[in-house]
Structure 1
Amino acid sequence: MASNANAHRSMASALLFLNLIMYVVVAIIAGWAINYSIDESENSLEGVSPPVRLFPIYFPMAMGNLATGFFVIFALVTGVVGIATSLTGLRDVSEGLPANMMSAASSALVAWTLTLLAMGLACKEISVSWRSASLRTLEAFTIILAGTQLLCATSLHAGTHAVILGTPIGGRV
Structure 2
Amino acid sequence: MPSAGLGRGLATPLLVINFCLYLIAACLAGWALNRNFDAGIGQGEGAVGNNVTQGFFLPVTLIACMVGLASCLAGIHHMRLFRSESLAAAAATSLIAWLLVLLAMGLACKQIHTGGNRPNRLKVVEAFIIILALFELLYLLSLHLGFGRAGHNHGTGAGTGAGIGMAGHAHNHHTDYGHHTDMKIPVGHVQNPAHPGY
TM category (shorter chain) comes to: 0.7 to 0.9
**TM, length-normalised to structure 2:** 0.73
Whether 1:156 aligns to 2:143 is: yes
Higher helix share: 1
Residue aligning to 2:11: 12
Partner of 2:173: none
Q: Tell me which moved more, 101-110 or 139-148.
A: 101-110
* Distance (whole Å) between structure 1 residues aligned to residue 93 and residue 13 of structure 2: 16
Q: Choose 1 or 2 for highest CA Rg.
A: 2
Distance in structure 2 (CA, Å) of the matches to 1:14 and 1:98: 20
Which residue is equivalent to 1:48?
A: none
1:21-56 CA-to-partner distances (Å, cap 9, x unmatched) read 110001101111111111121228xxxxxxxxxxxx
Contact 1:5–1:166 (CA<8 Å) still a contact in 2? Answer: no
Alpha-carbon contact 2:105-2:133 (below 8 Å) kept: yes
Corresponding residue SS for 2:25: helix
Residue 107 of structure 1: how far off its partner (Å)? 1.4
Deviation at 1:88, TM superposition (A): 1.4
1:93 to 75, 79, 91: 79
User: In structure 2, what is the Cα distance between the partners aligned to 1:145 and 1:8?
Assistant: 19
Aligned length: 155
SS at match of 1:64: coil
Provide the C-alpha distance between the structure 2 equivalents of 1:171 and 1:81, rounded to a whole number of angstroms.
34
Distance in 1 between residues matched to 2:71 and 2:158, nearest whole Å: 27
1:133 pairs with 78, 96, 120, which one?
120
C-alpha deviation, 1:162, in angstroms: 2.8
| Stretches of structure 1 lacking an aligned partner (at least 5 in a row) | 45-58
Give a deviation string over 1:61-96, Cα, whole Å, max 9, x none. xx1111002101111111111111101111112211
Asked if residue 35 in structure 1 is aligned to residue 34 in structure 2, the reply is yes
**Partner of 2:156: helix, strand, or coil?**
coil
Determine the structure 1 residue equivalent to 2:50. 65
Moved more, 98-107 or 144-153: 98-107
Give the superposition deviation at 1:170.
5.0
* Preserved CA contact (<8 Å) 2:52 2:110: yes
Does residue 118 (structure 1) correspond to residue 104 (structure 2)? The answer is yes
8 Å contact 1:119–1:146 — kept in the other structure?
yes
- CA deviations on 1:104-131 (whole Å, 9 max, x unpaired) are 1221111100110110100010111132
Displacement, 1:168?
4.8
Cα distance, 1:171 vs. partner?
A: 3.4
